[in-house]
Amino acid sequence: MTGPLSASVATLCDQIAGQASAEAGGLVRQISSRLSEPLRVAIAGRLKAGKSTLVNALIGRRVAPTAVGECTRVVTRFRYGPADRVDVVTRDGQRRSLPLDDEGMIPQRLGVPAGRVAYVDVTLTNERLRELTVVDTPGLASADTVVSRRAQEAAGLSAAPFDADIDAASASEVAAAEAVIYVFTQAVRADDVHALEAFRDASARLASTPINALGVFGKADTLVAGTGDPWPVAVSLAERQAELLARTVSDVVPLAGLVAETAQAGRLTGADRDDLAALAGLPAAALRLMLASADLFRTRPSPVPAERRQRLLGLLDLYGIGYAVAQLADEPELSTGELVRRLGAASGFPRLRHTVEETFRWRSDAIKAGWALSRLERLAGRSRDDRDRALLRDGVQRLLRDPAYHRLRLLDAAQRVATGAVPLPADWEQELTRLATSEDPRWILRLPQAGPDELYRAAVEAANRWRVYAVAGAGPAQSRVAQVAQRGFHLLAQRVRADD
């Protein structure tokens, strides 16, 4: 599913590749082939933040190991494919296939020293991966700088696909992601902010805005002791983080990732449900004591054997157990399926999924087109061949003059205003946001009933207003934004008239 902007960049790539030198042509074809792939989202964050857990929840299958092990130390890419398959790609470009282990997970032992692994390439016959390729990274601030640098490359933090210090075959495979989900736990630290800014700086154009980055406030369930309700605290903390990071991520969504993984991957069995129901039948005081801490839950006398209790902790942790037990105490006949559905809702995952769709999928055409254009520009900047350089530069310039590409500039301007980098009066900001994020002239102009004439006049009027603001308005930054808006409304007026 290639959107219109990506499709025309792909056409441009084909034209350039046909005329450029063999070397540049090959690189341009790599960029082009990325445009028809699903949007690639890297999951970034510190070690143990809950990244792999989130990956499993997003895929809806427990396939990424979440314990300490070799696999959690390498970059792993999950994409759609006709068969389940794990390939270990080494830094010399060789591939080695491995079977999934007995539990359907990536094996803990890769058979290759971690230092020689470029990344692990996993294809799964999983519908959710048809639209989203997910890249799991080991953690940005890990002590092992090699691993951490590779994580940064996979997250697009520092490296272009072409100048990574690995061979060309692997480099083309491990091209940077177009979008990132950054998993925080507790407070946002200074180097988290730093890493995010590096990500923005590394990729030009759209990446310089929160348009392609989303924050997840992970392990929200561990914010309060025992089984207390963490959401009031989690929601307000996430809001505070979102304010702090407004220039870096579009939103920060709180999530109880472990519960989300268990629910999404369908890990809770009928026997688990029955164990939870048995706990729900305990006298209230005994239950309260048991659920006060993980240690007490393991050690207090209980109708459920110790190893089964350990399993429940691993599936749900105290918050999830407390939530499930409360549901079963109210409705002892609750089915496993309905319990899982409620746990999924209680994990915060539905809001995350919705936000991912809003933030990434909907914008993925613009994100990918912007990504590819910035790669072409970068290639032009690096090319030693004058003819290649001219071909690339001219091609990109030609495309950017196409009215359709004005959307990229609009999104960029709207994000800059939304982040506060360029302050505008609130109603001007809202108008710009509507223009940047919609194709519907009636909605943009807030004239739901208007006919073509009225829409045309309103669009021309808006263009004039922004032109005046560009000249008379505050500073040079506002002026540049206003010029982009003016042209946007001018193009909108033309479109309304053409559709008439």
Ligand X SMILES: Nc1nc2c(ncn2[C@@H]2O[C@H](COP(=O)(O)OP(=O)(O)O)[C@@H](O)[C@H]2O)c(=O)[nH]1
d(CA 371, CA 206): 7
> How far is C-alpha 253 from the chain's CA centre?
12
The CB-of-43 to ligand X minimum distance in angstroms stands at: 8
Residues forming the site for ligand X (CB under 6 A) = 45, 47-53, 66, 72, 139, 218-219, 221-222, 256-258, 317
d(CA 326, CA 226): 13
- Percent helix, strand, coil in the chain (nearest 5)? 60, 10, 30
The CB-of-50 to ligand X minimum distance in angstroms stands at: 3
d(CA 41, CA 355): 14
Indicate which of Mg ion, ligand X, none lies near residue 222 (CB less than 5 to 8 Å, by partner kind).
ligand X
By CB under 5 A, residue 56 contacts Mg ion: no
Indicate which of ligand X, Mg ion, none lies near residue 49 (CB less than 5 to 8 Å, by partner kind).
ligand X
Please name the residue ranges forming H helices in 331-385.
Answer: 336-346, 349-356, 364-382
| Of 52 and 262, CB closest to Mg ion | 52
The CB-of-242 to ligand X minimum distance in angstroms stands at: 18
The CB-of-14 to ligand X minimum distance in angstroms stands at: 39
- Encode 155-167: b = buried (16+ Cβ within 10 Å), e = exposed: bbbebbbbebebe
By CB under 5 A, residue 76 contacts Mg ion: no
CB atoms within 10 A of CB 333: 7
Residue 95 has which token pair? 């591939």
| Of 136 and 412, CB closest to ligand X | 136
Indicate which of Mg ion, ligand X, none lies near residue 230 (CB less than 5 to 8 Å, by partner kind).
none
By CB under 5 A, residue 486 contacts Mg ion: no
The CB-of-55 to ligand X minimum distance in angstroms stands at: 8
Residues 6+ apart with CB under 8 A from 123: 78, 79, 80, 81, 82, 83, 84, 85
| Of 107 and 218, CB closest to ligand X | 218
The CB-of-393 to ligand X minimum distance in angstroms stands at: 41
* From 6, 30, 52, 148, residue interacting with Mg ion (rule: CB under 5 A): 52
By CB under 5 A, residue 137 contacts Mg ion: no
The CB-of-52 to Mg ion minimum distance in angstroms stands at: 3
The CB-of-152 to ligand X minimum distance in angstroms stands at: 15
Edge-first strand listing for the sheet containing 39-45: 95-98, 85-90, 117-124, 76-80, 132-136, 39-45, 179-184, 213-217, 252-254
| Of 320 and 488, CB closest to ligand X | 320
| Of 141 and 470, CB closest to ligand X | 141
By CB under 5 A, residue 148 contacts Mg ion: no
By CB under 5 A, residue 72 contacts Mg ion: yes
According to CB under 5 A, which residues from 283 to 312 bind Mg ion?
Answer: none
Name the pairing type of β-strands 132-136 and 39-45: parallel
The residue at minimum Cβ distance from ligand X is 50
257, 208, 394, 4: CA torsion to nearest 10: 40
Indicate which of ligand X, Mg ion, none lies near residue 192 (CB less than 5 to 8 Å, by partner kind).
none
Q: Which of these, 347, 355, 283, lies nearest to 315 by C-alpha position? A: 347
Element containing residue 477 per DSSP (H, E): helix 476-499
| Of 12 and 49, CB closest to ligand X | 49
**Interface residues toward Mg ion, by CB under 5 A:** 51-52, 72
